[in-house]
Amino acid sequence: RNSSDGGLSAFRLTAGFLHRELPVRIGQTVIGLKENPSPYDIRQVPQFKALMDNYTDDLSLLADRTPAPSTPATTEQFVDTLRRLKSRSKANMRLLAQGLRELSWAINSQDTRIVPSFLRPNTVRQRAQTCGGPHYYSSTLAYPDLSAPMAYLAPSGKMEMTDPAQWTQGSVQPDGEAKYQ
């Protein structure tokens, strides 16, 4: 640590890292939302569209309009940009939570703009009647590793983490189903 500059060199090193890394991480978020690994058409949910637009704007702000923090003036500009991004993050989390609620409603109501036909129970029933037997589709095809820790929106409205690897199999129910604790 160089104490002769009061920690300024350490700050600039950290700021330089953030200047390089934040656009990468925000870019990954934008790509993830646009590529949509889910079978549901989340682009039809207005909150997800707004969230993609916000993250795209944040990426543009960081990558195109904020210089690297190398001088006191550019460092101050970068810090101001970080403050703007932080102030927007709460709104983005609200958009995400509302988007998940809207997506859940669309799935439950089988909204044809969002839920593909192969995931709608009526379509599966019709297919079973015309094909001569039951055929089941799983929305988990988009999420191959269901044993990995994952986040979910709890009824309280907060994002919570769960780790399926920590679940223990409890007693077996009379119908043969396993009860997980």
- Please indicate, yes or no, whether the overall pTM of this predicted structure exceeds 0.95: no
- Alpha-carbon distance of 58 to 128, in angstroms, equals 47
Between 138 and 113, name the one with better pLDDT: 113
Residue 92: how many CA atoms within 13 Å on its side-chain side?
17
* Structural contact between residues 134 and 128, judged by C-beta atoms closer than 8 angstroms: yes
Who wins on pLDDT, 18 or 126? Answer: 18
Q: Give the integer Cα–Cα distance in Å for 44 and 64.
A: 28
The set of residues, in sequence order, having a beta carbon less than 8 Å from that of 89 and lying 6+ positions away, is none
Judged by average pLDDT, the poorest of 59-68, 91-100, 172-181 is: 172-181
Region 18-33: what's the mean pLDDT?
91
pLDDT of residue 118: 79
Q: What is the pLDDT of residue 174?
A: 52
Report the chain's mean pLDDT, rounded to a whole number.
Answer: 76
Are 67 and 81 in contact by the 8 Å Cβ rule? The answer is no
More confident residue, 119 or 138: 119
CA torsion, ordered 146, 147, 148, 154, to nearest 10 deg:
70
